[in-house]
Amino acid sequence: MKSMQSIVTKCLETTTSKMYGQPNIAVIGGGVVGITVAKLFQDQLKNAKVTVLAEQFTEDTTSHIAAGIFKPGTSFKGPTKEITKKWVNDSWHYWQDMLKTPDAEQIGIMPLGTYIFSKENYHVTRNYLIEDLMPIYRPVTDEELKLAPVGTKFGSYFLTLKAECGRYLPWMEKIIVQRGGELVKRKVENFASLSNYDLVFNCAGLGAKYLCDDHDLVPIRGQVIKVKAPWVKSSFYGDTDTYIIPGLNGVVTLGGCRGYASYNLNNCKYDAASIMERCSEFIPSLKDAEVIAHKVGLRPHRSPVRVEAELIDGVKVVHCYGHGGDGVATAPGTAIDAVEKGLNFLRSNTRNKL
Ligand SMILES: Cc1cc2nc3c(=O)[nH]c(=O)nc-3n(C[C@H](O)[C@H](O)[C@H](O)COP(=O)(O)OP(=O)(O)OC[C@H]3O[C@@H](n4cnc5c(N)ncnc54)[C@H](O)[C@@H]3O)c2cc1C
Ligand SMILES: *[C@@H]1O[C@H](CO)[C@@H](O)[C@H](O)[C@H]1NC(C)=O
């Protein structure tokens, strides 16, 4: 009887230690989504061993190309309107909280006054996702309309922020590693190869297309010019995907374009010329600014963005990908959701799809 008892206890101990002792967690992806998920998971489960597996880190990710402005597009979408709003709200508060810390600049976060102007369409100046969230979101004055090219009829101004992944990612990575996490450069071919992990987060961005055979995930090609123009202090958006977004160290991001289903990662000189012409319509002095770099990236677009738990080949997987042109802004809200789903999945004994 006694030995029976000890066997039962032993079994329970094994289960418990596997579940709560030191769960082995993998995060696929070293972009803004994967790195945010990894750190937030550690926040929630301090004794977890978290390993980030990524083909590329920091400078080589799509996240690093983004200006990182918080301005989710009105077509940004979760499974329901409520969830979409929750993701956006949670994200906004995550970034706002960081902005209020003494480390904000070191983390790459700065406040940013932003104008949206249009010659043609009043509706592009409105954004139901952020209007009620931001302390300032208002129509522009007649004086402010003069900041835009002649013929501009509509405009809004709002106070947002931006997060530069060039600083945010290394800062987060350092915390992950200090807590015993690991960053491993490795391409994951399939989920079955990760059966030694108790839970896997799939934050592979466009890479999820192949990992999940997901045909809803489509690249939207973007190109930007990074110039040195420290005199630019606010962001400007105009028609035809035109934007000017100042950042830290006087570096300004000029954009842009959207090439649906384009995989072309080469710089296109015609796009660059068009971007420069459209941006200098707003601020003529940009024509003379020193060009630091031309950058091209593929936005991982999926509608809705996928935050879902799924059992694949016996491996517990939580997906978090498909953030399109809004991944820096919305990574935190979706990561909070993914981490919560992950914790539930880890603690459940289910071998079925959740
Ligand atoms: C020009 C441009 C401007 C942008 N501006 C903004 C902006 O101002 N604000 C904003 O919010 N968003 C912006 N975005 C969008 C933003 O960049 C993306 O939404 C975001 O970077 C997506 O993050 P992610 O972590 O999902 O993907 P990524 O940064 O692409 O990271 C994916 C990670 O997964 C890894 N990976 C993929 N497949 C595998 C595999 N099989 N095995 C191992 N690792 C794998 C990759 O190596 C990488 O580490 C912009 C995008 C572009 C192109
Ligand atoms: C927005 O998020 C914050 C912090 O995450 C929370 O306190 C607040 O209740 C949320 N508001 C709404 C409307 O969901």
Closest-CA residue to 213 (of 353, 339, 310, 333):
310
Q: What pLDDT is recorded for position 349?
A: 75
Domains of the chain: 4-347 (3.30.9.10)
Ligand 1 contact, 345 CB (< 6 A)? no
Q: How far apart are CA 335 and CA 320, in angstroms?
A: 7
Ligand 1 contact, 62 CB (< 6 A)? yes
Pairing, β 182-185 against β 49-57: parallel
Distance of CA 283 to the CA centre of its chain: 28
Q: How far is CA 228 from CA 114, 250, 264, in A?
A: 19, 6, 26
Ligand 1 contact, 323 CB (< 6 A)? yes
Which residue puts its alpha carbon closest to atom 14 of ligand 2? Answer: 86
Residue 160, CA atoms < 13 Å, CB-side half-sphere: 32
If you measure from the C-alpha of residue 90 to the centroid of ligand 2, how many angstroms do you get, rounded to a whole number?
A: 6
φ, ψ dihedrals at 57, nearest 5°: -120, 165
Which pairs with CB-CB distance under 8 Å and at least 24 residues apart come from 139-146?
A: 140/115, 144/115, 145/117
If you measure from the C-alpha of residue 316 to the centroid of ligand 1, how many angstroms do you get, rounded to a whole number?
A: 23
Residues of the chain with pLDDT under 50: 1-19, 352-354
Ligand 1 contact, 224 CB (< 6 A)? yes
Q: What pLDDT is recorded for position 15?
A: 46
70 close to 160: Cβ distance less than 8 angstroms = yes
Which residue puts its alpha carbon closest to atom 21 of ligand 1? Answer: 63
Ligand 1 contact, 33 CB (< 6 A)? yes
Q: Which residues line ligand 2 (CB under 6 A)?
A: 86, 89-90, 93
User: Nearest bound ligand to CA 82?
Assistant: 2
For ligand 2, what atom is nearest to the CA of residue 89? Answer: 1
Q: How far apart are CA 9 and CA 1, in angstroms?
A: 12
Which residue puts its alpha carbon closest to atom 11 of ligand 2? Answer: 89
Q: What pLDDT is recorded for position 68?
A: 98
Residue 16 tokens read as 């418990």
Q: How open is the CA angle 135-138-141, to the nearest 5 degrees?
A: 140
For ligand 1, what atom is nearest to the CA of residue 29? Answer: 34
